Amino acid sequence: MLKMLKMFFSFCDKKRRKQFYLAIVLTVLMGLCEAAKLPAIWYLFKNVFEGTFTLNTILISFLIMLIPVLLSMVFRYMSSMLQVEGGYSTAAEKRIEIAEHLRYVPMGYFNNNSLGYITSVTTNTMEQLADIATRVVMLVTTGLINTIIVVGSLFFFDYRIALVALAGVIIFLLFNSIIKYQGKKFAPDKEKADLGVLSTTLDYVLGISEVKSYNLYGKYSKRLDKANDYASKVYTKVELSMIPVQTVQTFITRLIGVAMTIVAILLFIGGYNDLAVTMTVIIASYIIYASLDSMGTFSALSKVIERCVERGNDILSIETMDINGNDYDTTTSNIELKNVSFSYDKKKIIDNVSLKIKENTKVAFVGPSGSGKTTICHLMARFWDVQEGEVLLDGKNVKDYSIDSLMNNFTFVFQNVYLFNDTILNNLRIAKADATEDEIKNALDLACCQFVYDLPNKLNTVIGEGGSTLSGGELQRLSIARAILKDSKIVILDEATANVDPENEEKLIKAIDALTKNKTVIMIAHRLKTVRNCDNIYVIDDGKIVESGKHDELMKIDGIYKSFISDRKEAVGWKI
């Protein structure tokens, strides 16, 4: 219990910890109010059994009980509000913290498995933390504190009964630790089941177009069924394993009250206590039972909190790139790679590459699929850190820049565009938050995005996740409009016209010319019209620069580039 609280409070930020600490203080006050009822009960019984029962007795007893009850209601409300706000705020803030942390994780970390895990943590795990943590921390701490205070107050009535209650509580806590151990034992299987269902569902939804195109319903439905069946078996196994021990725990809880009642009656028969003390102690046993029952019901979930915290910390402990650079303002956009090598999972992707790109020039990377073209561009923008050599921007190593100041110099226009489930206006303002209406209109006009003004809500139209409600060409043009708004010194184009219909391609090429005017332009390309007029063309093969020069120069060499041009087609091997 204490371990869970310590882990959870450490996971919270300073402000939330203060909220939970204050909630616990209020819980202690609630326990004292609960214990304060006992003197009123004793006073009432004493007067009844001694024959001194009057209206004043009722009023005094009522007042003695009323004040603690009213205070307890106030303390419970305040404590509940603090813990609800603390629990939900912690989950929300941790989602943001995880997102911020992932900004500085090397791109090589992200794959289908890691994305499924991250999605699971930021959705299921944080949702569990928000829902369960609030109830568990509130009910378990309330139950435990109330029990301790009531047991302590019993020493004022009869230390022997108090010792019986104390022994029962200790036995309960020992058995409760067994239940938590059972929960921990099944945690890995449950986590595997949760992740399996989420990953399989995510894979199915994201690949639904391929599933439809290739009629893969049967295959992928079986994968979903298999994941769901496994999860069902795990959840059933957990529940069936927990029911017997929880039943025994409930029996122990009731046995404590029975033992207290029997001892109290025996002491009364033996003449050690009067009837008022005996009845007060019996009522106290019910208070203890209610507190322990509440605690026992939710204490098994404390392991869920521990697991949620562990999973959140797992992502937050992923090693990030060194981001403590300087906020440099570049004077040029010259880029240089010096003997750069890069490997991923022991596979060498880039092998001793050196090149120079002068500012305000246009260069292209061409080569077979998997040759390393995109990786070189990612190394320039420090999506990954090189293992050997160095990448220089404006004569400074990109590792010396802060991430934000480095990224201010780059704009990417990807072949596969992603827009957020938000308005078109907000998607555009990602590039420039304070963009004026005229700037946005100009960017849309340059990028041939007149279709925006035909939409029902124009710029305030909400597009689906990933831009699913727009065509590929419309997405591409909006991404170029966004790039125009950012207006950075270096533009990296990943075959930006690939998804544009023929009637708009000429206009879009003009828009790209406007975007890239007086900028350093790097193209990842496989189309002749895209690279013909570049100042330099680098032919990449197997992670090395095998040819470089202008189009006419490379056509004089009987090499890969000339073969590519001679084929006059977009072979699969040349796709990005």
What's the pLDDT score for residue 277?
A: 87
Q: How far apart are CA 325 and CA 339, in angstroms?
A: 22
Q: How far apart are CA 417 and CA 472, in angstroms?
A: 8
Sign of CA dihedral 528, 533, 539, 540: negative
What's the pLDDT score for residue 136?
A: 75
CA-based nearest residue to 293, from 242, 244, 246: 246
What's the pLDDT score for residue 443?
A: 86
Name the helix (H) or strand (E) containing 147.
helix 126-154
Residues 6+ apart with CB under 8 A from 569: none
What's the pLDDT score for residue 290?
A: 80
First to last CA, the chain: 53
What's the pLDDT score for residue 391?
A: 92
Three-class DSSP category at 371: coil
Dihedral in degrees, nearest 10, Cα atoms 392, 394, 395, 400: -60
Long-range contacts of 102-111 (CB under 8 A, 24+ apart): 102/315, 102/318, 103/403, 104/320, 104/321, 104/323, 104/403, 105/318, 105/319, 105/320, 105/321, 106/320, 106/321, 106/383, 106/384, 106/385, 107/378, 107/383, 107/384, 108/344, 108/384, 109/318
Domain 335-574 sits in CATH 3.90.550.10: no
Residues 6+ apart with CB under 8 A from 237: 186, 189
Within a 10 A sphere around the Cβ of 264, how many other Cβ atoms? 25
**Residues in the chain with pLDDT values less than 50:** 214, 569-576
Q: Yes or no: say if 158 and 267 are a contact pair by the CB < 8 Å rule.
A: yes
What's the pLDDT score for residue 338?
A: 92
Q: How far apart are CA 297 and CA 253, in angstroms?
A: 11
Number of Cα atoms under 13 Å in the Cβ half of residue 399: 13
Domain ranges of the chain: 2-316, 335-574
Residues 6+ apart with CB under 8 A from 167: none
Beta bridge partners of 411: 491
Number of Cα atoms under 13 Å in the Cβ half of residue 499: 18
What's the pLDDT score for residue 572?
A: 42
What's the pLDDT score for residue 571?
A: 47
The secondary structure of 334-354 as a DSSP string is -EEEEEEEEEETTEEEEEEEE
Alpha helices in 207-216 (DSSP H): 208-213
Q: Yes or no: say if 319 and 21 are a contact pair by the CB < 8 Å rule.
A: no
- The per-residue pLDDT for range 454-464, each reduced to its tens digit, is 888 888 888 76
What's the pLDDT score for residue 128?
A: 77
Within a 10 A sphere around the Cβ of 552, how many other Cβ atoms? 8
Q: Yes or no: say if 470 and 442 are a contact pair by the CB < 8 Å rule.
A: no
CA-based nearest residue to 28, from 134, 135, 148: 148
What beta strand segments (E) does 376-512 contain? 388-393, 396-397, 410-413, 490-494
Question: Burial letters for 40-77: b for 16+ Cβ neighbours within 10 Å, e otherwise?
Answer: bbbbbbbbbeeeeeeeeeeeebeebbeebeeebeebbe
Q: How far apart are CA 239 and CA 116, in angstroms?
A: 26
What's the pLDDT score for residue 576?
A: 37
Q: How far apart are CA 462 and CA 247, in angstroms?
A: 52
Question: Tokens 């226009």, residue?
Answer: 413
Q: Yes or no: say if 6 and 135 are a contact pair by the CB < 8 Å rule.
A: no
CA-based nearest residue to 154, from 267, 230, 62: 267
Architecture of the domain spanning 2-316? Up-down Bundle (1.20)
Q: Yes or no: say if 519 and 360 are a contact pair by the CB < 8 Å rule.
A: yes
- 32 is written with which tokens? 């004292």
One-letter amino acid at 393 equals L
Q: How far apart are CA 550 and CA 538, in angstroms?
A: 9
DSSP code at position 386: -
CA-based nearest residue to 107, from 312, 359, 320: 320
Number of Cα atoms under 13 Å in the Cβ half of residue 77: 6
Question: What count of residues does the chain have?
Answer: 576
Q: Yes or no: say if 281 and 155 are a contact pair by the CB < 8 Å rule.
A: no
